[in-house]
Structure formats: structure tokens, C-alpha cells
Amino acid sequence: MKRILITGGAGFIGSHLCDRLLREGNDVICLDNYFTGSKDNIRHLLGNDHFELVRHDVINPYHAEVDEIYNLACPASPPHYQYNPIKTIKTSVMGAINMLGLAKRTKAKILQASTSEVYGDPAIHPQVESYWGNVNPIGIRSCYDEGKRCAETLFMDYHRQNGVRIKIIRIFNTYGPRMNPNDGRVVSNFIVQALKGEDITIYGDGTQTRSFQYVDDLIEAMIRMMATGDDFIGPVNTGNPGEFTMLELAEKVIELTNSTSKIVYCPLPGDDPKQRKPDIALAKEKLDWEPRLKLNEGLRKTIAYFEEKCKRHA
């Protein structure tokens, strides 16, 4: 049995990771300040003797004896990370420093949940891990993009200078149950709008592309990455190489929800990437991993979750 710390453990992805690690027989400490996470996501775990919930902000140091750390803490959707951009970059940078310090002291293995946003508005397609990115350092998304890039730098320097055992994954668009309905991400936006019969808002002309992976596929990649030997530290892309335009996604959601919603177009926000698609050759080679769930099936599971959530709050 390992003692595992998950920062951002009450968030969308973190809560699914808590579930999985507990099922595998580990002790799990879930750290969250509830800025975007929610107790509802982990309420079903509160009676589990192997689960510990701690309200804590990773901007401040945290002390515990642990074997592994998954550093997920950071708001990840544009409305949330732009709400308080200084707080966002502090979470990425100071949170990384504090968790790396803990890993150094306890000799724990630590995984950084980085993001495809480190590639910015990419000049190459699909994106490979060796690509350095095309990021605006002074734009409205910079607090998140550059915060995550700096966190990767810190991980590499703690590894080179102090021998900390690190893992870095770059997460591409992920969706599934427990997404926050108000997080401003495209999948949750479209589903909520479709279920309410409201207009579905597409920013730009709808030709910009994204790749969507179901949350269970991501959790599998994270577990496999943490289990790799010390000779492989990443970064490694975790995402679904299936590529869809925003218009295609909106049409799929309307079809699967039997919605009467109409599609409307709004101006494109600043620095919004036009293309996003992972090259996952490295994940296939090193982790023997690729996403399994097709978009239609994953959307059905996610729609069912939001339908149930709407009923409970009706």
C-alpha cells in the first residue's frame, strides 16, 4: 500500500484519480482549496478509511509523509484561470515549488499535470513533445500557459539539481462526468446549452479544431506514467489524436441530446489556438497507451451525468 498525495484532488480529473487509486488499495490524501474543485466530487469517498480530505492551498507549503505526489492543482478553464490570473500563476509556480520541496524531502515520486497549452497556438501540427511552442507571454491566457511552462522548468531543474524523481505529462482536452457545468469548456458548454434548449455558442467560425479524450483514458495514462522507471521522465502527450472542429462537436451534441438548440457564432477570444491535436507516438511506445473510448460513447456518458445533475437541481 502506497500513501499518495493528490493536489487538486476534489477537481474533475483529481476526483477520478482518487477513485482509481483507492480501488487499487492505496492510502490517498486529497488536497484542495475548492476554488474550482467541489466536495460533491469526492463526497462518496468520505467514509473510506483510506481516504483523507485536507482543505489546503498549494501556494502554501504542506507537510506529510508520502510515497507519490500527483500535482494537479490549478484552475484549467479560461473563465476560471482568467478570473484571478495572479492567483493562477502563483498556483502553478509556487505550487510546483512547494510540492517539489515535499518530494525532495520525502524522496517521493512526483507527477506534474502539465497541459497542451504549453504549445500555445502551435505552428506545427500535430504537436510533438519536442516542439517548444508558440506562446504569447503577455496575453490574457499567459497566466495559465506560462505558469504551466514554468512549472515544467521547475520540475526539470529539481530533477537535475536535486535528483527528484519526476514525471511530466501534457494533458490535451479532457471531458467526462464531474466537469463543472459553468467552467466555460467547450464540451460542458455545449452539453448544458443543448439540454436547456439554449443557443449553442461557437466562438469564431467553428473551423478551429480540438481533440477530446475521455477522463478514464487520461487516468489510465497517468497511472502508467507514474509506474514507469526513473529513466523516463517525459514530457509525454496524453490526449486523443481524433480531431474535430467546433462545429462538428456542436452537431454531435445536438444529435445525442435530441436538442432543439440552434448554433450561433460569437467573436473568437484572444490567443485562442486554431488547431490542437496530440502526437501520441511517445505514449504508445513508453506507456503502451492510447485512448480507447470513442467520442460518441464518451459524450453519451457525459450527457447522462449532466442530465442527472439537472434533475437533482430542478
**Candidate list 119, 144, 158, 175, residue with the active-site label:** 144
- Consecutive H or E run containing 196: helix 186-196
- Residue 114 has φ and ψ, to the nearest 5°, of -90, -165
191: cell is 452539453
144 labelled catalytic:
yes
The pLDDT-based confidence of 27 (bands split at 50, 70, 90) is very high
CA distance 82 to 236: 26
> pTM of whole model > 0.75?
yes
The pLDDT-based confidence of 184 (bands split at 50, 70, 90) is confident
Amino acid at 38: S
For the chain, the structural domain boundaries read: 3-178+213-241+277-293
Packing angle, helices 12-23 and 215-227, rounded to 10: 60
256: cell is 445525442
pLDDT in tens, 241-261: 998 999 999 999 999 999 999
List all residues 6 or more positions away from 178 whose beta carbon is below 8 Å from its beta carbon: 12, 15, 16, 41, 215, 305
- Consecutive H or E run containing 3: strand 3-7
- pLDDT: which is higher, 164 or 210: 164
CATH number for the domain formed by residue range(s) 3-178+213-241+277-293: 3.40.50.720
In the beta sheet, which residues pair with residue 218? none
pLDDT in tens, 40-97: 999 999 999 999 999 999 999 999 999 999 999 998 877 778 889 999 999 999 999 9
pLDDT for 314 equals 59
Amino acid at 89: I
pLDDT in tens, 280-303: 999 999 999 999 999 999 999 999
Q: What is the largest CA-CA distance in the chain?
A: 58
CA distance 78 to 54: 26
End-to-end CA separation in angstroms for the chain: 42
Contact present, 213 and 237 (Cβ < 8 Å): no
Contact present, 218 and 175 (Cβ < 8 Å): no
CA distance 291 to 242: 10
Find out whether the peptide bond into 273 is cis, omega within 30 degrees of 0.
no
The pLDDT-based confidence of 272 (bands split at 50, 70, 90) is low
